[in-house]
Amino acid sequence: MSTQPEKQTEALYLEDLHKTYRTGTLQVPVLKGVNFDVKRGEFIGIMGSSGSGKSTLLNILGMLDKPTSGTYRIDGIAVETLSDRDLTTIRNIKIGFVFQAFNLFAHLTVQENIEVPMIYAGVSKHIRRETACRTAEKVRLAHRLDHRPTQLSGGECQRVAIARALVNNPTFILADEPTGNLDEKTGSEIMALFHELHRNGTTIVMVTHNPQYEKEYDRIIYLRNGRKWRVVNNLEHTSEEFETE
């Protein structure tokens, strides 16, 4: 957890966010007016039990889905106004994804996996190679650049995924249960790496159900029944609760 003063530049902003799914004639509300923002340099945890709306919120934050109503801004850009093509472009540049299942390409080397977002961003081969090598050093995998995922441990695979998430210098890293497939020791090592990135200024939003890490975030936003019901600020040692259904 950072001890640095909170940076005031807005990275993300959500206001009265709703998401309703339709099944035939039935409407199923999943998010029911979610509000919060994320400042640059924050390490935010989003927690909630099954059915709380956590997965739906994750998809909206990752620009994989659009809200039914409400506002979602990333770097001041209103996501709901974007075309599908613009969504794809901005998603690749402004969001670094880290998944529970790593989602690496088995036929590619570590270096090639790290380069993938830069290929979509149109970065030249020379710059891609330099950036991939430099980023691999940050996650202590410079000696593994020529290996493939099947030759790596789970912790090493997650380090590749983190390196891949960093290469386009995104607005924030969106991590979905990044320690879920790892043993406790390796999971702690990956969390330590996230903290190192955070100390160096990376904004991180981590979606998890693991209460083991509650004290490690700057703030934790808890969801219940599709609403924000509690916010804990570990930097200021405060807790605020909100009414839910």
Q: What domains, with CATH codes, occur in the chain?
A: 40-65+91-241 (3.40.50.300)
pLDDT at residue 4 is higher than 50: no
Local structure of 190: helix, strand or coil: helix
pLDDT tens sequence across 78-96: 998 889 899 999 999 999 9
List, as one string, the DSSP characters of 192-232. HHHHHHHHTT--EEEEE--GGGGGGSSEEEEEETTEEEEEE
Characterize the bridge pairing of strands 219-224 and 204-208: unpaired
Predicted TM-score (pTM) of this structure? 0.91
- Spell out the SS3 assignment of 14-33: EEEEEEEEEECCEEEEEEEE
Packing angle, helices 154-166 and 184-199, rounded to 10: 20
**Structure tokens, 107:** 């036929």
Packing angle, helices 110-120 and 125-138, rounded to 10: 130
Helix or strand (DSSP H, E) at 6: none
pLDDT tens sequence across 140-198: 999 999 999 999 999 999 999 999 999 999 999 999 999 988 999 999 999 999 999 99
